[in-house]
Structure 1
Amino acid sequence: MNLNIEVAWTRLQSMLQGLIAALPNIVIGLAVFMLFLFLSRTVAAAVQSVALRTGQARGIALVFSRIAAWGVLVVGGLISLIIMIPSLNAGSLFGALGVSGVAIGFAFKDIFQNLLAGILILVTRPFRIGDQIVSGAHEGTVEDIQVRATLLRTYDNRQVVIPNSELYTNRVVVNTAYDRRRLAVVVGIGFGDDIRQAKGIILNTLRGLDLVRQDPAPAVFIREYGESAVNLEVRFWIDPPVRREVIEAEDQVLEALKPALLDAGIDLPFPTQQVLFHDQTEETDGDREQQREGWPARTQNPRSRQALLREASLHQSGDQAQP
């Protein structure tokens, strides 16, 4: 037992002596790494400034500055390791990195894929920081295009982190790609109303709205014959096409169209349902050989309610005529 304690104590003393001997190297290595950390920030700022001066987009400048900063940090980390561990030379370090390169590549395949996709997005510029896009079930404003992912801020103030590879390989709708946007609202009028008159009233109303562009001019088309109304599709253009202006323009158009149509006597019908019994509407409704609802014909047809009421009235009048 004493022998084991002496051996353990000896090893502990040797470890402490080695740590004390390595302290200067550790301090110098940490100081060198801190120097490279400061240098990485300086290099990142310089790269970003140069990229912006050459006319590159802010997103491209950010990514290039981050890549440059990472490169400086990697070099600083390798140099710090060599200083702190003198037995570790550059040849053995790069040899170990080469052996483990394949494993690292497989482990970080998704990261490298997103990195490449992020660079391609910034170079090809399908959308930029500040654009409003739709990606799958998410819609919002692009706040940042990072190396791994793109940050999207939804209209209800939530943040969505979308991998760059997903944005690069899937469909993306850019709502703010152009300086104007066409909107459409549907207005239903009654079947008995004059369609031409309704179209003229709608177009005259849109001419007085400040959020609606007159070039291209608004247009009105018959969309469909609905169950209770003739649905007209009102198309108009706005600028700029951001989400807030879209909501405000639609609100202004719908608010102005209702009183204009009602003042002109145009009906704005709402869905209704009519239930008809086969013995209460017409003479032929009870006759399955003549009725229009498509029931199969038969020889013994029930009498309609109108016929029964008429016969009862005649019978009552005949009884009153008798002395």
Structure 2
Amino acid sequence: MTLELTPILTRLQNMLQGFLTAIPNILIGLIVFLLFVFISNLVRNAVHAIAERAGQPRGIALVFGRIASWAVLTLGLLVSLTIIIPTLTAASLFGALGVSGVAIGFAFKDIFQNLLAGLLILITRPFRIGDQIVSGNHEGTVEDIQVRATMLRTYDNRLVVIPNSELYTNRVVVNTALDKRRLSVNIGIGYGDDIAHAKEVILRELAQIDTVLKDPAPQVLVKELGDFSVNLDVRFWIDPPIRREANEAQDRVLETLKKALPAEGIDLPFPTQQVLFHDQTEETDGHRTRQREGWPSRGIERDPRPLREIRPNSEEVDNRS
């Protein structure tokens, strides 16, 4: 069997000639596209400068500059394609894009959703670059608001990329939205301590801490009667409301109160438990139908003798009952 190579060689020769013929168009198309890249950078910088002069936030200026740059690059790509492929006209190209537009829309639905959410975030400005926010399980400082996602730097120096649609549709806590922030710490004092005196000491010490604001004034409220202490809720305000200032303010308040309260004779009790043995309280202890739980009943004088002498064994109590 004889292998005929002539058709193959002829086709390869035609392809090579076609490529050599298209080289000038390819070079011109690349030069045109590079020119559009340069123009896109100029347009981006111009839009950014115009937005900043108009008083828009830095995030909005960045995003609109990127959108304008992408529009110029898209136009440059279409022009370059028509130069490289002369048979490709603008009408046929836009017709193909129109036919495939639905498929592209479904394929890039999430991207378009994040793009729209990013624009709405930049326009409505629920938070800005530099704000400290909480989104789900993530908390940190907003580093950048891009078209698709928002960059969040956590306090332990990790970068979290959050899609804009998630930030726009879910709850977001902006810790630095307002100029002041209220903090609180819990202090437990003994049941035998004077609550009014403890409040007076706490407020006096808070007035001497420079990071605690005088207006609004601090408050000390009784939060609950705990198992082993009377728990006080110490509330105070700080400015600025960033995380580092909050941690340092709480540290100073707790350190100050730890020294001041015992110096004024106010107890800071440890957790305690009390165990009652039923053979040490009342004579009826050990008798299941007559024994009492907890402390002895009032008005009953306890016999000073040990309970074993009063009731040698539980059988006597059962017989008496």
Task: State TM-score, norm by structure 2.
Answer: 0.91
How far 1:310 sits from its partner (Å)?
6.3
C-alpha contact 2:131 2:141 (8 A) present in aligned 1: yes
Task: Show the counterpart of 1:138.
Answer: 138
**Matched residues in 1 for 2:305 and 2:91: separation?**
105
**Matched residues in 2 for 1:285 and 1:220: separation?**
44
**Matched residues in 2 for 1:220 and 1:282: separation?**
42
Task: Show the counterpart of 2:293.
Answer: 292
Q: Using a 3 Å threshold, how does the CA distance of structure 1 residues 94 and 305 change in structure 2: closer, same or farther? A: farther
1:30-109 matches, within 5 Å, as 30-109=30-109
Count of matched residue pairs: 304
**Matched residues in 2 for 1:96 and 1:86: separation?**
16
Is residue 2:240 matched to residue 1:240? Answer: yes
**Matched residues in 1 for 2:285 and 2:42: separation?**
90
1:112-156, CA deviations, whole angstroms, 9 ceiling, x for partnerless residues? Answer: 000000000000000000000000110000000000000000000
1:235-285, CA deviations, whole angstroms, 9 ceiling, x for partnerless residues? Answer: 000000000000000000000001110001111011122222211244454
Task: Show the counterpart of 1:187.
Answer: 187
Which has the larger displacement, 253-262 or 282-291?
Answer: 282-291
1:66-119, CA deviations, whole angstroms, 9 ceiling, x for partnerless residues? Answer: 000000000000000000000101010000000000000000000000000000
**Matched residues in 1 for 2:21 and 2:92: separation?**
23
Which secondary structure state, in structure 1, belongs to the residue aligned with residue 306 of structure 2?
helix
**Matched residues in 2 for 1:7 and 1:311: separation?**
121
How far 1:309 sits from its partner (Å)?
5.1
Task: Show the counterpart of 2:216.
Answer: 216
Is residue 2:127 matched to residue 1:127? Answer: yes
C-alpha contact 1:183 1:235 (8 A) present in aligned 2: yes
**Matched residues in 2 for 1:304 and 1:92: separation?**
110
C-alpha contact 2:276 2:294 (8 A) present in aligned 1: no
**Matched residues in 2 for 1:33 and 1:272: separation?**
78
Task: Show the counterpart of 1:116.
Answer: 116
Task: Show the counterpart of 1:168.
Answer: 168
**Matched residues in 2 for 1:56 and 1:305: separation?**
88
How far 1:2 sits from its partner (Å)?
5.6
Which secondary structure state, in structure 1, belongs to the residue aligned with residue 188 of structure 2?
strand
Q: Report the residue type matching 2:121 in the other structure.
A: I
How far 1:289 sits from its partner (Å)?
2.6
**Matched residues in 2 for 1:177 and 1:286: separation?**
64
Can you give the 5+ residue segments of structure 2 that lack an aligned partner in the other structure?
A: 296-302, 313-321
How far 1:23 sits from its partner (Å)?
0.2
Can you give the 5+ residue segments of structure 1 that lack an aligned partner in the other structure?
A: 295-302, 313-323
Q: Report the residue type matching 1:48 in the other structure.
A: H
**Matched residues in 1 for 2:3 and 2:96: separation?**
39
Task: Show the counterpart of 2:152.
Answer: 152
1:3-22 matches, within 5 Å, as 4-22=4-22
C-alpha contact 1:280 1:304 (8 A) present in aligned 2: no
1:149-207, CA deviations, whole angstroms, 9 ceiling, x for partnerless residues? Answer: 00000000001000000000000000000000000000001111111111111000100
The structure with the largest helix share of the pair is 1
Task: Show the counterpart of 1:306.
Answer: 306
